[in-house]
Structure 1
Amino acid sequence: MTAYPSAVRLRRAAVIGALCAGIAVTQAGCAEKTDPDKGTNGVGKQTPEKIESQAKAAAAAAGSVHLSGTLVSGGKSFTLDLRLKADGGSGEVKSQADTFQVLRVGDQLYLKASAAFWGKSDSAGKLGDKYVKVPQSDPTYKQFRGFTDMHVLLDGLLGLQGKLTKGGYTTVGHTRAVPVSADAGKGGKLTVSLEGTPYPLLMERAGGAGRVELSEWGKTFPLEAP
């Protein structure tokens, strides 16, 4: 009658011993150092200045980009969802006053907005929710064209102001990335891809002047006049 409890105790001790050994092995494995740059494009090893420079160069050489987020300009806030490339772009721009679709094919610029956007003229009702070609002589042509000019928009967007520092690795969506901040974020923060080409993935502008995600770099899309 006494053999059974002893056997149980022995088996229990063996199980506990194996469990503790397994935990020890696991802990030892977790303690091993891993290379954070393994499988990356290596840009994270660079200085923050070099990371910013490589990201800007990658953006300048890209054929297209999808840009989405918010920008504050001239005291006005705009929500953007745009696909841009060298010869034009298309997408949606929202302001506090209105929402409009913008399309540029080469030098030809088109806007689609509500009738209220076009004012109180007799033709405003006919223009509502239809693409309207904007003459290059119109004072607003240059302003709206800027929303579809990929490189002008990126040049104005990607600037950091102040002393640069590199942060710990993070992710934007499912992509590993490294952030570079200017003056601890007060001068803006740029997050750059650690996978493939070091494209900018996220720009947080200085002074709370907007937060924009950049994706689908180099992905083609059609542009056709309405």
Structure 2
Amino acid sequence: MSLTPVPVALKALLDSVPGPTPAETLPLAHCAGRVLAGDVAALRTQPPFANSAMDGYAARAADLEPGKELKVIGESAAGRGFPGPVGGGETVRIFTGAPIPDGADAILIQEHAEGVGGPVIRVTRPASKGQFIRPAGLDFQTGEILLETGRRLDSAALGLAAAAGHPTLSVRRKPLVAILATGDELVLPGEPTGPDQIVASNSFALAALVEQAGGTALDLGIARDNHPDLAAKIEAARKAGADVLITLG
């Protein structure tokens, strides 16, 4: 007797699958482990504005030479930017994530500045143009495809979708997998076993595998070795809308 090799059997099984399950739209909080039904494009640019990568002072790079003294004219913080421009000989105290003021094109980190009294600092080390500035769109830009169809959504993917401005996503419905154990010799865990009976354990292991793989398991219990009981259990799977029926015994 020849046995069907596992790869051949698996291919035959997968070839019989009619296609993906229908799409449904869910809130992000309910999308973990789901499979994307369509590409996800950015609805916004991230970051939406040029911002500082360090705490320090925003100024013109031409002014950031050792020994140069600059007047501190204000402050730019995350969520509260400096409203005016920065001119020659001026600087703005800035914090990580804060918007770059107009006119500034470099960040002098705070370790490279020293106070000289009043609202004045002295540059101790030079800074080049663009130094420690994160430009707008560094992470992604509006319209950019960030996640592709078929991607299983993990924590990183969901965080990216949220940052891109998506409150919901189109995902595939979880396949409903019915599991049916058959045999007069089987009893459920916790039930007394007769002299010719064993505990039905494989159906519980299969149900866990289905859930781990992203499906929804439907336990049909145990069908006894007679046609009416087996037919009734299979009909229950059909009425429940099962996409797959796994029988074991």
Q: Which has the larger radius of gyration?
A: 2
Q: TM-score, normalised by structure 1?
A: 0.25
Q: Identify the structure with the greater helix proportion.
A: 1
TM-score, normalisation: structure 2: 0.24
Q: Which has the higher contact order (CA 8 A, sep 6+)?
A: 2
